[in-house]
Structure 1
Amino acid sequence: MILVRRQKEAELRILEEETARRIEEAIRKKVEESLNSEEIKLEIQRRIEEGHKKLLDEVAAQLEKEKEAALIEARQKAEQERKEREELDKMLEENQRRVEEAQRREALEQQQKELERCLELERIQKEKEEAMRRKKMWEEEEKANQMKLLGKNKSRPKLSFAIGLKSDSTKIDLNN
């Protein structure tokens, strides 16, 4: 009994495998026939073409997006460069203005120093002239005093001295 049962199970299994193999073979033949049919070939070709067209459209759209993004980026970069150039120009103008202002201040300071130097030289010159004038006046006063002392220009009365000799009285003039 067990043996018969096992034999029936083995036959059943073999039958199932044979059936599965035949079904599989039939499906394979049916698929092959379908694939070889003109209608299926046309459908496959149509789907391939649609897929190819869709892929090309997607690539074109992606390229357009990338192109637009590149244009936007280029515009932004150009705008940024323009702003940086303007800022640089402003900085250069400001630096030039500061340099000119510093040069103007320095020139004014130099001019002020030169003016002060000129005024100092004028003051020293006046002091020298005043000292020379005082010296000249002093020298003239000294000369006048010497003249008085020596009796020149009749600034002092003549004094005469007589030495008593018995003969002609001889006078000695001290003024000459």
Structure 2
Amino acid sequence: MLEIQRQLEEGRKKLLDEVAAQLAKGKEAAHLEARKKEICDISHRNKLREREREVLDKMLEENQKRVEEAQRREALEQLRKEEEWYQELEQIQRQKEEATRRKKLEEEEERANQMKLLGKNKSRPKLSFAVGSK
């Protein structure tokens, strides 16, 4: 009977050891599976971050292009306005020069008419005290 009890004890101990070993293996397998899942999750998150970064980089590049295009259009508009302004200034200058030329011509014609009226010779222009000269 003692022998049977000892064999039963050994059998129980062996069975408990086997169960403990299987539990340890199962626990290790579960731990490895959890670690594998965690690594997959990290990899997936990294891929998502990379895609998000790519999308953001693309958006940033598009925004930069829009800003550059707007700046280029603004610069062209400014240049156009400056050209118009210079053209207006040139037109005003030409008008002033034309007015000065006409005024000078009119003054010369007026002097010539005064000379004719006074009967003076053009070679020796003399003005009467009655006529104001400029």
Q: TM-score range by the shorter chain?
A: 0.7 to 0.9
Partner residue in 1 for 2:26:
58
Partner residue in 1 for 2:99:
131
Partner residue in 1 for 2:71:
103
SS state at 1:145 partner: helix
C-alpha distance in 2 between matches for 1:42 and 1:111: 101
Partner residue of 2:57 out of 79, 82, 89: 89
C-alpha distance in 1 between matches for 2:101 and 2:47: 79
Deviating 4+ runs (over 3 angstroms) = 33-36
**Structure 1 contact 147–153 (Cα < 8 Å) conserved:** yes
Pair member with larger Rg: 1
1:73 aligns with 2:41: yes
Partner residue in 1 for 2:130:
none
Partner residue in 2 for 1:148:
116
C-alpha distance in 2 between matches for 1:69 and 1:91: 32
Displacement of 1:149 after TM fit? 1.6
Kindly tell me: are residues 94 and 154 of structure 1, through their superposed partners in 2, closer, same or farther at Cα, counting changes over 3 Å?
A: closer
1:48 aligns with 2:16: yes
Displacement of 1:147 after TM fit? 1.4
TM-score normalized by the length of structure 1: 0.66
Displacement of 1:152 after TM fit? 2.1
State the AA in 2 paired with 1:75: S
**Structure 1 contact 35–41 (Cα < 8 Å) conserved:** no
SS state at 2:121 partner: helix
Partner residue in 1 for 2:82:
114
Higher strand share: 1
C-alpha distance in 2 between matches for 1:137 and 1:123: 21
Kindly tell me: are residues 82 and 154 of structure 1, through their superposed partners in 2, closer, same or farther at Cα, counting changes over 3 Å?
A: closer
Matches within 5 A, 1:6-21: none
Identity of aligned residues (%): 49
Gaps of 5+ in 2: 124-134
Kindly tell me: are residues 117 and 45 of structure 1, through their superposed partners in 2, closer, same or farther at Cα, counting changes over 3 Å?
A: same
State the AA in 2 paired with 1:70: E
Instruction: Kindly provide the CA deviation profile for residues 15-41 of structure 1, in whole angstroms up to 9, marking residues without a partner as x.
Output: xxxxxxxxxxxxxxxxxx679821011
TM-score normalized by the length of structure 2: 0.86
Kindly tell me: are residues 35 and 99 of structure 1, through their superposed partners in 2, closer, same or farther at Cα, counting changes over 3 Å?
A: farther
State the AA in 2 paired with 1:139: E
C-alpha distance in 1 between matches for 2:22 and 2:5: 26
